Structure formats: structure tokens, C-alpha cells
Amino acid sequence: MSPLASYRRLFELAGPAYVAVAFVARLPLAMAQLGTLLLVSGATGSYGLGGLAAGALAVANAVGAPFAGSLADRIGQRQVVLVQSLAGAAALTLLVALVHGDASDAAVVAVAALAGLTMPQVGPLARARWRPITGGHRRLVDVAFSYEGAADEASFAIGPALVGLGVVAFSPSGALLLAAAMLAIFGTAFALHPTARTTRGEGPQLPTGRLFSAALVVLITAQLLIGVLFGATQTGTTVLATEVGQPGLAGLVHATLGVGSALAGIATAFIPDRIGPERRILVAAAALLVFSMPLLLVDGLPALVLVVGILGFAVAPFMIGNFTLGERVVHPSRVATTMTVLASATGLGYALGSGVAGRLADAHGYTAAFAVTVSAMAVAVTLVACSQRLLRNALAAAKPAPELVAAA
């Protein structure tokens, strides 16, 4: 089956309503991080505090997501996502109220963390639905992961863009309230969609099968590093845009990272199967390092748009390879947990990147923030290069689930 035919089959199986809802439902999380950074830093004049609040949101989301994923593996996604969507929307609304009410820094950071803790990781949970949707067909599952990678990257382009538009048209508060409304509406729709029932475990027992392994630790670390790229690059972009008097354009500039990444994500379905995911992430990591280096030379928004746009073309192939490896090397009953663990690592990396880059930017400017991006990618290349044999052995040792054998 050709990649185009595979994409058509995926959308036929899931239905257009599900594809649309699952995409829009992941936008609020992409909006919340930048929205929090702009809201808090704009109100307080401190990029450090803004980065701390955005980082708290990301860390709390990263900490809570694996527990939500494990619970979804056990009882199904419907109840878990429904509660998270409504609670997350309420927390974002409360955050806006506290900032405008001149609440203490500690209270603002705490509520930002509460918002992150309660918001669902729609992208990873959507990935977990594709195995039952496709009947476990290996090729369709792989193409679905390419689509999900592209959808995630598109969300991280559109989400910041919506924040930027909201800031220009209204205010940072208006942008964050928009995210809250979208989460309440589309998060609920994602939770109640019939595909949520297909992920429910059988019986009250915990999912079986080993979760953590040396290979998964490598993938988690790789996702942590790509999260550092997101956090540091977004912070550096925000500082540069503010310095030139266009803070509202930060989201639009950062959105170019997701545009290139989304296009590259869709194209990964055309890569021959003989090129394994472990080799794909090595090439992507090397490209990320090379493409990130010009960030150290930019001195204005036009140059930054070009560099960030090119950098994006290596992001999705790296992440898709990581998630594909994660899905293959764990027991089928632990897929949702694995997907949320990997997403959590990305969130922790975002927090680390935005926090470190924010402090460096306060002292040394935007170039110091971008130096965090380049350093993280240098570590990523080293990690992936040294782990090639480990990842290949993990793939070889993984036994396909019965439904995958039947569907092949």
C-alpha cells in the first residue's frame, strides 16, 4: 500500500470528525506554554518569572501525564480526558484572574503548575488509539505515527500563532482564555468520541508488561533534549521580538518551527521501511545540530524566521522516530503510558530549556538563550550515535503483538 493510499485508509477508518477533533484538542497545550510566558513576563517585566511560570506548567504536565496515561491504559481514555479537559480549562481561567489581581509570584507559579497538571496530553493519547483503530496493521500504524508527528508539529505552529494573534488583537489574557475555551469544548469532544472506548483495558487490574528498559531511557532522554530545543528557542524568540518592539510576533515567528516540521512529518511516511527508525533519528539529530547553529548569528526577526523555519524540517523526523521506537519496544498494554512518558520528557525538557534560557537571556540577551538550543542538540547527536546498537537490539528483541502478525 502506497503512503498516499495509507493516509486515505487511515482517515476512512477514523472518520473526518475524529481527525479534526483530535487535532484541535491538542492546540490548547501548545498555546498555554507561550501564553503563560507572555502573560506573566508582560505583567511583571521579568522573563525569568515568565519562564518559571511557563516551565512550572510544563513540568506539572510532564509529571502528571504518565499517571493519566497509566490510568487511561487501565480504565480507558474517556473518563480521564473528560475530567482533565474541564479542570485544565478552569485552571487557565484562574491563572488569568490571578495575574490581573496582582497575586504573589508564588501563587501565579502554583496555579500555572495546576493548569499543567490537569491539561490532557491529547497527542500521545491519540497515538494510542491508532492501534485499535487500524486493527494493529503495522504499516498503517507507522503511517499513523507519521501523521501524528505532523499533527503535533502543526499544533505547535498554529498554537503559538493563535497566541500571537490573540496578543495583537486583544492581550495575552485573551489568548490564554481562548486556549481555555478550546480545551473545554474540543477536549470534551475528544474524550467523548467513540474511539476512546477502544483503548479501555480489560478488567480492573493494572496493565501488564515491562515498561522501562535501557532503550526507552535513551528515547526519554532524546525527547527531553528536543524539549530543551523548544523551550530555549521559544524563549530566545520572545526576547528578540520584545527587544525590537514586536512582542506579539514571538508566537508567529516560533510557529515557523512547526510549519517545516509538519511538512517533514508527513513526508516521513515516504521513507523506505528498510531505513529503520533508529537510523532516522540519528540523521535527524545531526540535522538539528547543523540547522540550529545559525541561531547564534541572527540579529533580527527576518533572519530568525528563516533559521527557525529551516530548523523545523528536522524536528518531526526526530520525534516520529522516537515515538515509533517507543511504540514498538514496549508491551501493547503499555502503549498509552509510554506515549505520555515520552511526551512528559518533552515537557520537562521545555521547562529546563525555557528556565535556563530565560535566566541567561535576562543577563546576556537572546543569543545566550539560543546557545542552550545548540548545546542540547550537540548532546542529542552524541546520545543517539552511541545508542544505535542498543536501539537495533531492542527492535530485534521486541515481539510483535498477535494482532500485528494477523494484520501484516
pLDDT digits (tens, 9 = 90+) for 216-256: 889 999 999 999 998 898 888 888 888 877 776 776 776 77
Calculate what percentage of the chain has a pLDDT beyond 90: 24
d(CA 350, CA 361): 16
The predicted model scores a pTM of 0.72
CA distance 7 to 12: 9
The Cα–Cα gap between 367 and 296 comes to 6
If one counts every other C-beta atom within 10 angstroms of the C-beta of residue 216, the result is: 20
Q: Which helix or strand (DSSP H or E) is residue 7 part of? A: helix 3-14
Residues 209/305, Cβ–Cβ less than 8 Å = no
More confidently predicted of 287 and 257:
287
d(CA 205, CA 189): 27
For 408, other C-beta atoms within 10 Å of its C-beta total 10
- Give residues with Cβ within 8 angstroms of 162, minimum separation 6: 27, 31, 175, 178, 179, 251
Strands in 9-85 per DSSP E: none
Give the pLDDT score at 74. 78
What is the distance, to the nearest Å, from the Cα of residue 302 to the centroid of all Cα atoms in its chain? 26
With beta carbons less than 8 A apart as the criterion, state whether 329 and 215 touch. Answer: yes
63-81 pLDDT, tens per residue? Answer: 888 888 778 877 778 888 9
Q: Is pLDDT of 168 > 50? A: yes
Q: Which residue has the cell 537510523?
A: 279
Cell of 387: 545508542
pLDDT attached to residue 10: 80
Tell whether the model's pLDDT for residue 132 goes beyond 50: yes
Tell which CATH architecture fits domain 19-202+211-407. Up-down Bundle (1.20)
Cα–Cα distance measured from residue 348 to residue 339, given in angstroms and rounded to the nearest whole number: 14
Encode 347-358: b = buried (16+ Cβ within 10 Å), e = exposed.
Answer: bbbbbbbbbbbb
pLDDT at residue 333, rounded to an integer: 65
The reported pLDDT for the residue numbered 294 is 94
Tens of pLDDT, residues 172-220: 888 899 999 999 999 999 999 888 776 654 434 444 455 677 888 899 9
Residue count (the chain): 408
DSSP 297: T
Query: Which has more confidence, 64 or 156?
Result: 64
Q: DSSP label at 121?
A: -
Lookup: cell for 173: 489574557
In this prediction, residues 305-322 reach a mean pLDDT of 88
What was the pLDDT predicted at 331? 66
pLDDT at 401 over 50: no
**What proportions of the chain, in percent to the nearest 5, are helix, strand and coil?**
85, 0, 15
CA–CA–CA angle 27, 219, 404 (5° rounding): 85
Residue carrying C-alpha cell 498494554? 333
Distance CA 398, CA 331 (A): 9
How confident is the model over 31-53, as a mean pLDDT?
81
Q: Find, among 187, 369, 207, the residue nearest to 292 by Cα.
A: 369
CB distance 179 to 38 below 8 Å: no
Average pLDDT over residues 153-165: 77
* Average confidence (pLDDT) over 259-266: 74
